[in-house]
């Protein structure tokens, strides 16, 4: 057993903030989806019940991960990474990968459907944490400390891009760049690789019509409020309707078949309309606490593996939250990334809760105050 696992200092700040975000998510998912579910499925509680099911699975994973010594992940690093890669290939096979809105991102196993790329994020973080710790003395070298990590991340990101899912692919690359920066990789390698990727990103956006439409809609949504700017226009309308205190829980107007994806990508807009700026600030503060405690746990980790694990997982959660919020308020182009712990979606919820359990385990092994 890991020599640090016997300590028993739970980070209650992280536990409480995560729990509150999940509870807010459950209430908001029901509020945002009940009318739609009643009309299309005859059960206003359908999505709520699905979310509760995934919450139970997620918290079971959190409890197990919080109690298993995180050092055990060293032993399964490469099998887990290979499994993620194989799953990302399988999801692309016609007839196996389940398509939604033209994207093949899901695999169904019995009654359960899961999004492979969400689990690939966690698999990549575990691999990077193990490899960066092992190569500490050579992290500043290009051939050993930098290139292999970028190539592994780029391989996974390339498979995700084929689904297609540009947002998640970019998230995978951002994770590897951040962890390489934390590990002490040369800045010139990081900046050079990012610069080399800009023309590729340009081609991925400007030569793919629907992505270009999103960019144009982001730049000036009011120029075409019924097509390319539709999502953002109705999101901003929901936010403006809410004021400081909101119109009241369950009373959102924009969720009545105006705002697309009100229970997933734009759930924060519904919260802003119903609970106002107060509700949005509450969520921002809770994510701030998650980030604060995650940073403290990472800094206090007893070894580099734990430090990289906590840093990568907290970055995965908080970066996605920041991107989702940026999209909802019009600071970033529209992209289908859910709000962690809050949006409807089983895979994201389970992976984020599982990751939180790993961070809690690192925290139990450290003197975090």
The per-residue pLDDT of the chain, averaged, comes to: 91
Assigned domain for 67 exists: yes
How far apart are alpha carbons 163 and 63 in whole angstroms? 32
Question: Three-state DSSP class for 206?
Answer: helix
pLDDT of residue 69: 92
Mean pLDDT lowest among 100-104, 117-121, 132-136: 100-104
5 falls within a domain: no
pLDDT-derived band at 368, boundaries 50, 70, 90? low
Tell whether 369 is covered by a domain: no
User: What pLDDT, on a 0 to 100 scale, did the predictor assign at position 5?
Assistant: 42
Tell me the whole-structure pTM to 2 decimals. Answer: 0.93
User: Taking the mean position of all CA atoms in its chain, how far away is CA 40?
Assistant: 28
> In 3-state terms, the chain is what percent helix, strand and coil (to 5)?
70, 5, 25
Instruction: Classify residue 280: in a domain, yes or no.
Output: yes
DSSP code at position 167: H
- Burial of 31 (C-beta count, 10 Å sphere; 0-12/13-18/19+): buried
Radius of gyration of the chain from Cα atoms?
Answer: 21
Instruction: Kindly tell me if the per-residue pLDDT of 1 is higher than 60.
Output: no
Query: What is the reported pLDDT for 4?
Result: 41
Q: How far apart are CA 256 and CA 36, in angstroms?
A: 8
Whether 3 is in a domain gets the answer no
Cross-strand pairs, 109: 112
Please say whether the dihedral angle defined by the alpha carbons of residues 176, 178, 184 and 185, taken in this order, is positive or negative: positive
pLDDT attached to residue 367:
60
Query: What are 222-234's pLDDT values in tens digits?
Result: 988 888 899 999 9
Q: Is 4 part of a structural domain of the chain?
A: no
Phi and psi torsions of 368, nearest 5°: -95, 130
Residue 29 scores a pLDDT above 90: yes
How does DSSP assign 102-142, residue by residue? TEEEEEEETTEEEEHHHHHHHHHHHHHHHHHHHTGGGTT-I
For the chain, the farthest-separated pair of C-alpha atoms sits apart, in whole angstroms, at 61
Per-residue pLDDT reduced to its tens digit, 349-359? 999 999 999 99
- What mean pLDDT do residues 105-130 have? 88
Long-range contacts of 156-162 (CB under 8 A, 24+ apart): 156/84, 156/85, 156/88, 156/120, 156/124, 159/85, 159/88, 159/89, 159/92, 160/88, 160/117, 160/120, 161/204, 162/92
Residues above pLDDT 70, as percent of the chain: 95
Cα-based angle 95, 98, 102 (whole degrees, multiple of 5): 105
Q: How far is CA 31 from CA 19, 74, 113, 263, 280, in A?
A: 19, 42, 23, 8, 15
Split into its structural domains, the chain has a count of 1
Q: Give the whole-angstrom CA distance, residue 136 versus residue 317.
A: 25
Q: Is residue 99 part of a domain?
A: yes
Distance CA 182, CA 307 (A): 10
C-alpha angle 36-268-353 in degrees, rounded to nearest 5: 95
Q: Is the pLDDT of residue 158 over 60?
A: yes
pLDDT digits 0-9 by tens, 252-284: 999 998 888 899 999 999 999 999 999 999 999
Q: Which domain holds residue 92?
A: 12-364
Contact by Cβ (8 Å): 318, 21 = no
* Whether the bond into 44 is cis, omega within 30 of 0: no
Residue 1 lies in a domain: no
């Amino acid at each position: 057993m890991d020599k640090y696992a016997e300590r028993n200092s739970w980070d209650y700040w992280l536990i409480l903030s995560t729990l509150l975000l999940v509870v807010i998510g459950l209430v908001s998912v029901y509020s945002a989806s009940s009318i739609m579910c009643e009309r299309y499925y005859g059960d206003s509680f359908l999505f709520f019940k699905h979310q509760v099911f995934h919450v139970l699975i997620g918290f079971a994973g959190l409890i197990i991960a919080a109690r298993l010594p995180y050092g055990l992940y060293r032993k399964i690093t490469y099998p887990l990474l290979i499994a993620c890669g194989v799953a990302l290939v399988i999801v692309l096979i016609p007839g196996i990968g389940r398509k939604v809105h033209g994207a093949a991102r899901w695999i169904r196993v019995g009654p359960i459907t899961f999004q492979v790329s969400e689990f690939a994020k966690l698999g990549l973080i575990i691999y990077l944490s193990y490899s960066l710790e092992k190569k500490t003395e050579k992290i500043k070298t290009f051939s050993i400390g930098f290139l292999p990590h970028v190539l592994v991340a780029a391989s996974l990101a390339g498979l995700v891009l084929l689904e297609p899912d540009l947002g998640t692919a970019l998230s995978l690359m951002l994770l590897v760049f951040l962890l390489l920066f934390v590990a002490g990789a040369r800045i010139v390698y990081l900046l050079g690789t990012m610069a080399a990727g800009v023309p590729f990103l340009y081609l991925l956006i400007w030569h793919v019509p629907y992505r270009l439409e999103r960019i144009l809609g982001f730049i000036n949504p009011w120029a075409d409020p019924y097509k390319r700017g539709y999502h953002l226009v109705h999101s901003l309308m929901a936010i403006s309707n809410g004021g400081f205190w909101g119109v009241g829980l369950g009373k959102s107007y924009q969720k009545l078949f105006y705002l697309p994806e009100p229970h997933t990508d734009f759930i924060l807009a519904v919260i802003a309309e119903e609970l106002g700026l107060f509700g949005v600030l509450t969520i921002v503060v809770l994510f701030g606490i998650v980030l604060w405690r995650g940073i403290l746990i990472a800094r206090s980790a007893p070894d580099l593996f734990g430090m990289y694990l906590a840093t990568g997982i907290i970055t995965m959660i908080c970066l996605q939250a920041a991107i989702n919020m940026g999209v909802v308020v019009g600071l970033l182009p529209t992209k289908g990334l859910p709000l962690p712990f809050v949006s409807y979606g089983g895979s994201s919820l389970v992976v984020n809760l599982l990751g939180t359990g790993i961070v809690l385990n690192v925290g139990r092994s450290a003197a975090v105050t």
